[in-house]
Structure 1
């Protein structure tokens, strides 16, 4: 549904995160009226672009989600939690239930959904060239991989019922706004350096990015680290 002036309005979930903070100004620059949803409003250091409407809340709150999506032409679903833990109920619920709720509400309102999944949703264990036709991650894959796969299946289930959706499966994402100094991006690293980072095996979880092998750590600690999205 468009407003009386014909302006396009988009809801961005997870808008206070790394990808969201980089996307918001691009949407504004291209003429979208933006409504941003997230649990925490960005700090003054990473202020919202002028004109962006902020809604504090979670995509797991169905009432807040419905109200936030009202009057929108599209929704970009970014809300997710990257984790390297073997057990992370918060990440599992957000990455699986979140896409299901957003997709169902978008279909109910007959608006387009752009869902940010991950290459980790695909089963990369077979090696070789990975395409979108690869099977989704299943048993035996890390928790994050499986959670993104379940979330993607939830979106596809709504597509089968008529939802207009685009699913993106990014690898490593590099952008200028990085308030946490992620390993992949590196707030002080030029793009060419970040692109040249190498892969190293990580004992408990598979593969990680870095310019040199990380220090060894006990796989039994389950300590969470900011992991790469690639």
Structure 2
């Protein structure tokens, strides 16, 4: 199978590519990535190392390039997106363009090229706070109403429902996944866990929004990409049009994560710094994974304790990767890393 992977040089996308190379020897992979701030060729195996992996530098909003790139592909796995809530609160325009318009362009090209499977990677952010229709807090189910609380989440919800409509209207064989928070190697350090790890290693404060009790389900990226690979290779046509939550049932608060990172690195809890809460901050994200477990037999295998230990070790042993990120001198990342120095007066 020839697979087009959009955003394949990003965090989850690159781990997915590595998983395919290791576990599916008959697959050929074409990575399509614009290489914006979070896209990084250093996330991928050395390109000349395998004839099964190739790369095209391109924008999913470029219709002509997308159409040319998709020709000859059997499947599309669509990761490419603007993904950070905080960035979306500052400037939502790029999120609407990439996440909604870009997804539309890919879906149109997939329809015209008769793609055999279109796997759209969504997020549990589309649900807003995890709760039942009556408002009782519980893990989100695939049938729950989408109530996104940030421009990022709204853009993903729009693309999510657009992808579903292409199955409903045109019969495009779409599968949608909604994952809980990922962590692991190659994650850009503006996100919570790598930011905590880097700040702890460099003796900077770890910024905690609000009271630190916002809760998330955390899944190791290796478990996530294993689920995606399994769904991609399902041959049954009754999978088309289906939505699957992907999570690990390992809920933790922001404060618990900061405390564990500091303890693991034998750093002082004094490095914890409470800062003003962000706008539209979801109190709880968690997903019910009954459906994917029952229909394809998948479940997460890596415990958070094991996964965070491996992740900390990865950042400790890859200083050249971190240095390459920091050399790009991204102002937003620099602000995020130093946010904890601006303590809240709560």
CA distance in 2, matches of 1:56, 1:81: 17
Most deviating of 210-219 and 164-173: 210-219
| CA drift at 1:94 | 0.9
SS of corresponding position for 1:79? coil
1:18 maps to 11
Closer, same or farther in 2 for the Cα pair 1:201/1:79, shift >3 Å? same
Matched length: 203
User: C-alpha separation between the residues in 1 aligned to 2:153 and 2:42?
Assistant: 33
Partner residue in 1 for 2:258: 211
Match of 1:66 in 2: 67
Task: Give 1 or 2: higher helix fraction.
Answer: 2
Question: 2:46, 2:188 → 1: CA distance?
Answer: 13
Q: Is the 8 A contact 2:9 2:43 kept in 1?
A: no
What's the TM-score, normalizing by structure 2?
Answer: 0.52
| Other-structure match for 2:183 | 174
Q: Distance in 2 between matches of 1:61 and 1:73?
A: 20
5+ residue gaps, structure 1, are 1-7, 190-199
Residues 214 and 149 (structure 1 numbering): CA distance in 2 closer, same or farther, change over 3 Å?
A: farther
Asked whether the equivalents of residues 130 and 139 of structure 2 are also in contact (C-alpha less than 8 Å), the reply is no
Cα distance in structure 2, aligned partners of 1:148 and 1:64? 23
In the alignment, structure 1 residue 134 sits paired with structure 2 residue 144: yes
Are residues 162 and 142 of structure 1, via their aligned partners in 2, closer, same or farther at CA, if it must alter by over 3 Å?
same
Change (3 A) 1:135 1:62: same
**Where does residue 244 of structure 2 map in the other structure?**
none
Residue 150 to residue 224, structure 1, CA distance change in 2 (3 Å):
farther
SS at match of 1:215: strand
What is the match of residue 29 of structure 2?
34
SS of aligned partner of 1:173:
strand
Give secondary structure in 1 for the equivalent of 2:166. helix
Once the two structures are superposed, residues 139-166 of structure 1 have per-residue CA deviations (whole angstroms, 9 ceiling, x without a partner) of xx21111111001111011111211011
Runs of 4+ in structure 1 displaced over 6 angstroms?
186-189
SS at match of 1:134: coil
Greater C-alpha Rg: 2
Q: C-alpha separation between the residues in 2 aligned to 1:48 and 1:187?
A: 29
Aligned partner of 2:122 in structure 1 is 117
Within the candidate set 110, 118, 142, 1:106 is matched to: 110
Change (3 A) 1:96 1:207: farther
Query: In the alignment, is the contact (CA less than 8 A) between 2:209 and 2:276 conserved in 1?
Result: no
Query: What is the distance in 1 between the residues matched to 2:273 and 2:108?
Result: 41
Aligned to 2:242: none
Tell me the CA shift for residue 38 of structure 1: 0.5
1:72 Cα deviation (Å)? Answer: 0.4
The normalised TM-score by structure 1 is 0.75
Is the contact between residue 9 and residue 74 of structure 1 (CA under 8 Å) also seen in structure 2? yes
The CA deviation at 1:219 is: 5.4
The match for 1:88 is 92
Change in 2 beyond 3 A, CA 1:132/1:214: farther
